[in-house]
Amino acid sequence: MDRIFDLAIIGGGVNGCGIARDAAGRGNSVFLCEMNDLASGTSSFSTKLVHGGLRYLEYYEFHLVREALIEREILWRIAPHIIRPLRFVLPHHAGLRPAWLLRLGLFLYDHIGGRHLLPPTRSVDLTRDAVGKPLVPHRYTRGFEYSDCFVDDARLVVLTARDAADRGADIRTRTRAVEIRQADGVWHITVENIASRERSIITARVLVNAGGPWVGDVLALGTGVNAKAKVRLVQGSHIVVRKLYDHDRAYMFQNSDGRIVFVIPYQDDFTLIGTTDRDYHGDPAKVVATSEEIEYLCASVSEYLAKPVRPADVVWTYAGVRPLYDDGASEAKAATREYVFELDTPGGTPLLSIYGGKITTHRRLAEEALERLASYLKDTRAHGGWTAKSPLPGGDLDVSAIAALTGELVRRYPFLTPAHASRLAHAYGTRASKVLGGAKSMADLGRDFGATLTESEVKYLMAFEWARTAEDVVWRRSKLGLRLSAAEIAAIDYWIAAQRSANTGPLREAGGRP
């Protein structure tokens, strides 16, 4: 029989990659397949926050909020290049939540999660403070400013997978599981390469179903398991507009329907606005931001901003489907964000299915998943908790050292503009020098695709971060798609296809160690 993995994982989102990283670091042999690109589903369509979830306090989700608040600073420490602190301004809206309730919620938010590095909440006079200037004059006079963190969500997933691969995990993207069966005490997973249609069989002692919105589809591949838990698909859509104001704070706006909308500085020159909450029915791969949602988000923020936001101002939209555990809540906004495991052992062969979860709690989810599987895997108890201390690739620097790293790149590579160096520092951290290599000039980095994206960087992404298309590069490994034209993006695709056709050097197979 071919190699039998200790653990096979279906799904290359944040949960699947988090489990792969933790399990590989504990000495288990790990296989992970993803039918598309890493983070191509729910995990790249978030609001880009590592946060406790202030609004979940209203639903008495104290355990979820506390766990997320603890994880917030842990994740910042291990990935300070792709995670940064962000201050949020919450204006008091007369007629909605009373000021005393906001103060109480923020007091709990500051104290139940072991905040150590992030600054505490403060009251804000919106008539005097700079954060009040973008707001409708005289309508909002009082507010509060509190802390959370911003994250490059798709890069978080890719770097987690990169670390798992560095520790021995076999990560295969664009590889679909097409049949699952058990025999002789092990799982037999038939996988198919999406491009070549070549099939192979992977065997593993333990199987994790991290299919996200497709968790039920995975179970239907022949596992013999009839799930007791149900998934509730909730659509969340976002819009991006040109920069709305000059300061660096974000806003949390309350709506009269009880929902909240975030307004977040994004990619230096843009503002991100989201999210919506609505039940979704249909193929999760076909979800798009509807005109109704776009109008809703524009109207919501225009209630607060002196300069209204119109649908015509939108330069980009994205939408994702959250695979929440169906707890029977009447409204999508009230559905729990807690994660739920369902462990089945048909024929004595363990299969763990995951429902729900948040980017913020993915690391703790992975730990708990392996605790559930402890009796089936190697040495899981002895090495538990290691992921809280070990940085993600490029994250081996202090949380305050990104500016210094940017300066170091400019000194070492004086042909870089400060903006280019800053982008590389925030994307790759201490591994930025591996992208740049021994270059002495911009010409040494090869073709310039626009928006500071070079041939050297694309080659790195193909060789070590599983990038296969221009979409992978400009929308998930970066957000340079906001700055590139359709023709420029098409040129990247053409170049990548030519490189893959040539099948030379490190481009033959992704996942090698940088």
Residue 311: count of CB within 10 angstroms of its CB: 14
348 and 422 share one domain: no
Where does 79-138 have alpha helices with state H?
99-111
* Range of the structural domain that residue 132 is part of: 85-152+232-326
133 and 187 share one domain: no
Segment 343-365 shows an average pLDDT of 94
491 and 426 share one domain: yes
**Token pair for 453:** 């994206």
Segment 21-25 shows an average pLDDT of 96
pLDDT confidence band for 330 (50 / 70 / 90): low
Segment 7-26 shows an average pLDDT of 97
Any idea what the CATH number is for the domain that residue 408 is in? 1.10.8.870
Q: Which of 306, 290, 309, 307 has the alpha carbon at shortest distance from 298?
A: 309
282 and 356 share one domain: no
Any idea what the CATH number is for the domain that residue 197 is in? 3.50.50.60
pLDDT of residue 50: 97
Pair 8, 200: CB distance under 8 Å: no
281 and 187 share one domain: no
For residue 1, is pLDDT > 50? no
Q: pLDDT tens digit string along 282-327?
A: 999 999 999 999 999 999 999 999 999 999 999 999 999 999 988 8
313 and 452 share one domain: no
Q: How far apart are CA 377 and CA 28, in angstroms?
A: 7
pLDDT of residue 8: 98
pLDDT confidence band for 145 (50 / 70 / 90): very high
273 and 415 share one domain: no
pLDDT confidence band for 510 (50 / 70 / 90): low
Does residue 125 belong to any structural domain of this protein? yes
Does residue 257 belong to any structural domain of this protein? yes
- Cα–Cα distances (Å) from 158 to 128, 359, 409, 443, in that order, read 42, 13, 23, 28
Any idea what the CATH number is for the domain that residue 116 is in? 3.30.9.10
271 and 369 share one domain: no
Q: How far apart are CA 23 and CA 19, in angstroms?
A: 6
pLDDT of residue 506: 45
467 and 499 share one domain: yes
443 and 299 share one domain: no
316 and 271 share one domain: yes
Number of domains in the chain: 3
The domain boundary residue, chosen from 273, 300, 326: 326
For residue 509, is pLDDT > 60? no
The domain boundary residue, chosen from 301, 326, 351: 326
Does residue 250 belong to any structural domain of this protein? yes
Does residue 72 belong to any structural domain of this protein? no
127 contact partners, CB below 8 Å, separation of at least 6 = 138, 141
Does residue 63 belong to any structural domain of this protein? no
Does residue 453 belong to any structural domain of this protein? yes
Burial classification of residue 512, based on how many CB atoms lie within 10 Å of its CB (0-12 exposed, 13-18 middle, 19 or more buried):
exposed
Segment 25-42 shows an average pLDDT of 96
Q: pLDDT tens digit string along 84-117?
A: 999 999 999 988 899 999 999 999 999 998 889 9
* Residues paired with residue 319 on neighbouring β-strands, in sequence order: 237
Q: How far apart are CA 496 and CA 187, in angstroms?
A: 36
Does residue 501 belong to any structural domain of this protein? yes
496 and 410 share one domain: yes
Segment 454-480 shows an average pLDDT of 98
Does residue 73 belong to any structural domain of this protein? no
